[in-house]
Amino acid sequence: MGFESGSMTFHAFYLSRAFTPSDMERFAAHPLPLINTLTGDQPLHGWAGPLHAMDGDLTEEHCWRADWLWFAHVTAQKKVPPSLMRAMLLAELEVERKARGVEILPRAAKIDVKERVTEELIRDAQPSFGSMECAIDLRNDRLLASAMNDASMQTLCPFFRETTGCMPVLCCPESAAYRLRGLDANSVELMNLTPNEAIGIPPEVTLGTEFLTWLFYRWEKEDATFTLNDDRCQLMFEGPLMFTGDKAPGCHETVLRNGTPLDTPEFGIALWNGKKLRRAKLTITRNDWIISATVDGNDFAFRSLKCDPPKKAKESDAVSEMPSMNAPGAMPAPEGEDSKRKLSADERLDRAAFYVDAFLYLYGEFLKLREDSVAWRGELAKIRPWIAARSGQTEA
């Protein structure tokens, strides 16, 4: 599963109460039902252990990893491939037409055939599984879950509340603004980032995209470092970049990829025309931690988060760095103890939690400016010339 290896893709959710390892008893009381209880096309859903979709071990010993409860929400459903369904239906309709000796089957007959074929195919179909990984951060009262669209969140959140009595709240620009600063996102003053006077005032506040645009400006023109929990951290942007703006002239979405999207003239042109940065790859470092993810300003989704140590360079790439073997007693440099060690699931989750913490810390710094109209106008006085210069409207 993604939390154990490879890249991680998830949303963060706020939890209204603290959880403990003993809470696994609640999840164990709602396991995925037996597959042989599947009837028709109605899905079964329940909780499973972290290893795979049919991991029935929901004990505290199995799912408690350091400061995390790690498990999965699993659905099982009998599904028929659409191509098979269509082929069987057309074949049965043709058989029924010939049996009746008519050129065109009545509508009622077609419905009967479709219902019969569907029932037969579903009865013999093998179940398919869907799994959403979940991990509860016991320190920060947060849930990380690989529910990335509205449908999956509408399935996960009510069932989580039914199981635990706690409704997860999506960590998005609006909820995070309230949690961090007690700020109502609709109460801030509407202002344009762009100095382009042809662009009207936006009809609503888009704090998430304003934040990413402001953060890019801070990284490029001011300071790419910040301090979190007494640790010096750094940030860096990479492409591809996505800009959006519902009121922008022409297209409402611009995607810059390949080549050098951070330096392309289209970057400044998108900002000049009222678009804001919606999605970008953001790398955050702390000591020897290097963590990168593609972040979305609309809903604070974290995609393809990578936190594993870089792979060891190939032997051919490191020949020039090896000591000479001609000198008497010369030996290759010893490998470090952790050079080949794979991070455990809880270590990877710790890095993901740090990334979320750092991202929300930076968002809080932005909110301090954004909620104060005077301070934000002072910030815009620096951002707007930067946008103009980026778009080629004035001298840099």
Model pLDDT for residues 282-308, shown as the tens digit of each residue? 999 998 899 999 999 999 999 999 986
pLDDT, average across residues 125-138: 90
Provide the pLDDT for residue 312. Answer: 55
Task: Categorize the per-residue pLDDT at 335 as very low, low, confident or very high, splitting at 50, 70 and 90.
Answer: very low
**Most confident stretch, 11-15, 116-120, 266-270, 323-327:** 11-15
> Token match 């609309």: residue?
298
Q: Do residues 133 and 17 share a domain?
A: yes
Q: Are residues 212 and 349 in the same domain?
A: yes
pLDDT at 328 > cutoff 50: no
Residue 165 lies in a domain: yes
- pLDDT tens-digit readout, 219-253: 998 888 999 999 999 999 998 999 988 776 667 78
Overall average pLDDT of the 155-161 stretch:
95
What mean pLDDT is reported for the chain?
87
For residues 193 and 249, state if they share a domain. Answer: yes
- CA–CA separation, 215 and 235 (whole Å): 9
Report helix, strand or coil for 306: strand
Per-state percent for the chain, helix, strand, coil, to nearest 5: 40, 20, 40
Q: Are residues 63 and 108 in the same domain?
A: no
Q: Does a structural domain hold residue 333?
A: no
The Cα 47–Cα 32 span in angstroms is 5
| Cβ(140)–Cβ(180) below 8 Å | no
Asked whether residue 275 is assigned to any structural domain, the reply reads yes
Mark whether 86 and 36 lie in a shared domain.
no
DSSP reduced 3-state for 371: coil
- Domain residues for 299? 180-309+343-390
- Report the C-alpha gap between 75 and 118 in whole angstroms: 21
Q: How many CA atoms lie within 13 A of 181 on its CB side?
A: 21
Would you state the pLDDT for residue 88? 92
Least confident of 62-71, 78-87, 134-143, 312-321: 312-321
- Please tell me whether residues 146 and 21 are part of one structural domain: yes
Task: Report cis status (omega within 30 of 0) of the bond before 50.
Answer: no
**For residues 146-158, average pLDDT:** 94
119 pLDDT tier (thresholds 50, 70, 90): confident
Q: Which residue's structure tokens are 């709602």? A: 30
Q: Are 211 and 359 part of one and the same domain? A: yes
